[in-house]
Amino acid sequence: MATVKIPEYKISEEKVILDSKTTALIIVDMQNDFAHPEGRLFVPEARKTIPAIKKLLEKARKAGVLVIYTQDWHRKEDIEFDIWGEHAVGGTWGAEVIEELKPVENEITIHKLRYDAFFGTPLDHLLRIYKINTLVITGTVANICVLHTAGTAALLGYKIVVPIDCISALTDFDKYTTYRQVYFLYKGILTKSENIEFR
């Protein structure tokens, strides 16, 4: 068996102070099919991130930060099912956001077709309308929908912040790969949710 050395990345221990008017909190795919034990593609680690995401969400709401949820949202005929099997079919229980993190009035929900929340959705348009330049990205799965969304965000010119206690993956390898890509490839900030402050 090959041994793989974890590439370099840095997790900031300093406070990350963000402007509440130009920052959005993105909660990626915290849906029943991924974050509930009875979900079709359950990610066990996702359950462990719920308390941290919830605290960050409360902080964001209190500061008036724009909150955006993404939901994987598929039709029955979706070709993605050839990869993962049927999941997150639009309008079903599996596609709903988990009870612990339900959106409230005036929060935005984006139904996404693929891993990347910008692909085929109005996400970038909405962020420009609200004059957002910084995204705090949380959710699951770290190396799939979180990373693809973070990558496009960075390439569109947004500053990205990823609290590592608010993302989950199926394996440690996948999680560390995400850290490396966010830090090295997209020049994002890796931190912990307790270090994030909205002002």
Q: Give catalytic residue positions.
A: 29, 112, 145
Do residues 71 and 97 lie in contact, with contact meaning Cβ atoms separated by under 8 Å? yes
2: Cβ–Cβ under 8 A, 6 or more apart, which residues? none
Structure-token match 């693929």, residue found: 114
Rounded CA separation 187/45 (Å): 25
Helix and strand numbers, DSSP H then E, in the chain? 6, 9
Q: In angstroms, rounded to a whole number, what is the distance separating the alpha carbons of residues 162 and 167?
A: 8
Contact 136, 167 (CB under 8 A): no
User: In 3-state terms, what secondary structure has residue 12?
Assistant: coil
| Cα diameter, the chain | 51
Count of other CB atoms within 10 angstroms of residue 194: 13
